[in-house]
Amino acid sequence: MEEIYVGAYLEVLAQPFSYKSEEKICPECNASRSGFNFCAICGCEIQSMLIEKIRPAHLPGLLEIGDKYDEFIDALSQSEIKGPNGEIFLIGNCCFPENPDHFDMNFAEIPERTAFMQKEAFRENYREIINYLVGLIEKGHIISLQIKFGFLAQ
């Protein structure tokens, strides 16, 4: 049975990360040939080349941009799921007011006041990291971020 998180969270849509990776490649065939000195297809000598790759955005990478990894990495957790447009969901690592201990598996009502209070508590508890992430919007690394309240499958 999968876990369901109920509460306030931060939805972040960020630019993917590009990075360079060294790979062993045949210059003639353009095929990856790690572990060999010569290409089995054409006989050319294998060369090391830097290849640019793209990786989806993730919390540790966003924190490393401003050297904030050690300061903020334990504050929020990244949900395993991603949104339909690649959004990442960041969950707080502390308790919030009026968080129900459990829900009836068939029905649960969450008062609007609870959602509002949890979003405000999230904003206050994570003010520093939210301000840091807002700064990444201005630098073009993050497209959007929103504090939301809802259900996330873990």
For residue 114, give the DSSP letter: H
Angle at 133 between CA 129 and CA 135, to 5 degrees: 120
| pLDDT tens per residue, range 20-74 | 888 888 888 877 767 788 888 888 898 888 888 898 888 998 998 888 999 998 8
Give the tokens for residue 43: 């006989």
Residue 20, helix vs strand vs coil = strand
| Residue ranges of E strands in the chain | 4-14, 17-25, 47-55, 76-82, 88-92, 142-153
Q: What is the pLDDT of residue 106?
A: 58
Give the tokens for residue 135: 């700064």
Tell me, yes or no, whether 37 and 100 share the same domain: no
Tell me, yes or no, whether 63 and 134 share the same domain: yes
Identify the helix (H) or strand (E) that includes residue 116.
Answer: helix 112-125
What does the mean pLDDT of the chain come to?
A: 85
Tell me, yes or no, whether 70 and 129 share the same domain: yes
Query: pLDDT band at residue 108, thresholds of 50, 70 and 90?
Result: low
Tell me, yes or no, whether 46 and 97 share the same domain: no
Domain span at residue 73 reads 4-16+56-153
Compute CA distances 61 → 24, 68, 83, 96, 141, whole Å: 26, 10, 18, 27, 10
CA distance linking residue 87 with residue 81, whole number of Å? 9
Total domains present in the chain: 2
Q: What is the pLDDT of residue 107?
A: 57
The CATH number of whichever domain residue 136 belongs to comes to 3.30.70
Residue 11, helix vs strand vs coil = strand
Q: Which of 69-78, 97-106, 117-126 has the highest mean pLDDT?
A: 117-126
pLDDT of 77 strictly over 70: yes
CA distance linking residue 50 with residue 152, whole number of Å? 38
pTM for this predicted structure: 0.73
What letter represents residue 42's amino acid? C
